[in-house]
């Protein structure tokens, strides 16, 4: 586990397809990639294989609906190590109200929240996804489990994340 200095804010911007158009020095440092290796690449370059795709489906559903998304994400460094962030991703709009890009601001999450709630949940979601022969079926099952959990609690994904990090 790569330890991010507590005061760091990892900032990046992407186009509508998730291609990185800007990133700050702290994001470059923590990712282990050079700025040249990041700019013009899909943000999933830093996606860790332990992240359940169902969480990213939830993120994209929220963002494409024009809403801010907050979530805990395990990212992969260039050298294969990993780091956790609490991400706030915001869509930006043009004058016609259409989404033109996304801005992400990430900070160090609470370790107790990660270990007590998120790591077990994400492990469960990933195991569910891998139990299907079809990755698409696994993704839908994982996403469905997330939605059922939220529906049962009567909250949105953002409200769930906020409740853990308040």
Q: What is the pLDDT of residues 15-68, one digit of tens each?
A: 999 999 999 999 999 999 999 999 999 999 999 999 999 999 999 999 999 999
Query: Other C-beta atoms within 10 Å of 152: how many?
Result: 8
pTM assigned to the model:
0.93
Which two tokens mark 48?
A: 């860790």
Q: What is the pLDDT of residues 66-105, one digit of tens each?
A: 999 999 999 999 999 999 999 999 999 999 999 999 999 9
């Amino acid at each position: 586990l790569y330890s991010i200095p507590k005061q760091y804010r990892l900032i990046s911007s992407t186009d509508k397809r998730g291609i990185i158009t800007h990133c700050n020095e702290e994001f470059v440092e923590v990712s282990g990639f050079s700025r040249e290796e990041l700019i013009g690449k899909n943000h999933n370059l830093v996606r860790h294989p332990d992240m359940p795709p169902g969480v990213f489906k939830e993120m994209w559903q929220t963002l494409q609906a024009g809403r801010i998304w907050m979530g805990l994400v395990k990212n992969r460094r260039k050298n294969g190590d990993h780091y956790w962030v609490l991400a706030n991703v915001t869509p930006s709009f043009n004058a016609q109200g259409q989404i033109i890009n996304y801005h992400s601001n990430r900070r160090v999450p609470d370790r107790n929240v990660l270990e007590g709630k998120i790591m077990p949940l994400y492990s469960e979601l990933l195991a569910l996804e891998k139990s299907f022969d079809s990755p698409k079926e696994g993704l839908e099952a994982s996403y469905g489990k997330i939605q059922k959990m939220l529906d049962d609690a009567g909250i949105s994904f953002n409200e769930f994340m906020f409740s853990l990090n308040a």
